[in-house]
Structure 1
């Protein structure tokens, strides 16, 4: 039986591999040690919410990571759904959808009224998933990035 659950320290090795794969999807160089250190820091600081999908044999096939932020305008918390990844061999089985639904459920359980996310403009598969789950594209704001040295 497969399940979605919160990540634990015992997931660090397989989750690190998934994170490294995810970063390579976004054209970043492979660095499993850095992925592991990053995840160990997240789990240790508990500054994000990490949900994983564990298959029948317990192997991890995907994850979603959320970061809490505050909205001054709405005077309420928000969570940034920063990462969603499903291993290519596990795609097409509804795992991404299940992870997204679990993220929304977790947010509701914590009284978080809004989730936000960004995705690459050419990632049509992700956009179709988000829109099928009721997410709405934000046309009211432009996103900007400033890279600091």
Structure 2
């Protein structure tokens, strides 16, 4: 078996990336329109705001990571948000997730970011085993409000 290669996402990856993206959304019990998915893919390729990397082994995509850098009110340097990370279920535990995270760390360092952060569900125990080894669990609690929800 060939080693895992981490590289920037390319237009030709869409048909292999899409089933991984759909599996990622299913894990988080989310459904997005084709328009949103297509828009994301285009941003990963071209906008300079979102970045995407893929993990490839033996010519097959086995994972992806999406991330973005942004300004911070707590630092003069940018910070990096690791927004989406997914590894094919048949490849978990083999180092793919770690390599994708380390690639984001390298990109963030090269861009002068002060840190990398991400969120996951508390029930995501398999991924959290990796996250506990490559990051530090923060004390922050996340709140959100969608624009179409009424205020309480």
TM-score by length of 2: 0.87
Answer yes or no: is the 8 Å Cα contact 2:77–2:112 preserved in 1: no
Aligned-partner Cα distance in 2 for 1:142–1:33 = 31
Answer yes or no: is the 8 Å Cα contact 1:53–1:61 preserved in 2: yes
Give 1:12 shift: 1.7
The runs of 5 or more residues in structure 2 that have no matched partner are none
How many positions carry a matched residue from both structures? 146
2:97 match = 96
Give 1:31 shift: 5.7
Runs of 4+ in 1 over 4 A off after TM superposition: 30-34
Structure 1 segment 29-108 matched on structure 2, within 5 A: 29=31, 34-56=36-58, 58-108=59-109
Answer yes or no: is the 8 Å Cα contact 2:43–2:50 preserved in 1: no
Aligned-partner Cα distance in 1 for 2:131–2:117 = 11
Answer yes or no: is the 8 Å Cα contact 2:24–2:86 preserved in 1: yes
1:136 match = 136
1:115 match = 116
Answer yes or no: is the 8 Å Cα contact 1:66–1:82 preserved in 2: yes
Aligned-partner Cα distance in 2 for 1:24–1:117 = 19
2:29 match = 27
RMSD: 1.8
1:14 match = 16
Aligned-partner Cα distance in 1 for 2:31–2:79 = 30
CA distance 1:92–1:31, shift in 2 (3 Å)? farther
Aligned-partner Cα distance in 2 for 1:31–1:146 = 20
Aligned-partner Cα distance in 1 for 2:33–2:91 = 22
- CA deviations over 1:33-89 (Å, ceiling 9, x no partner): 753442123323232111100111x11010011011211111220110011100112
TM-score by length of 1: 0.88
CA distance 1:109–1:144, shift in 2 (3 Å)? same
CA distance 1:102–1:42, shift in 2 (3 Å)? closer
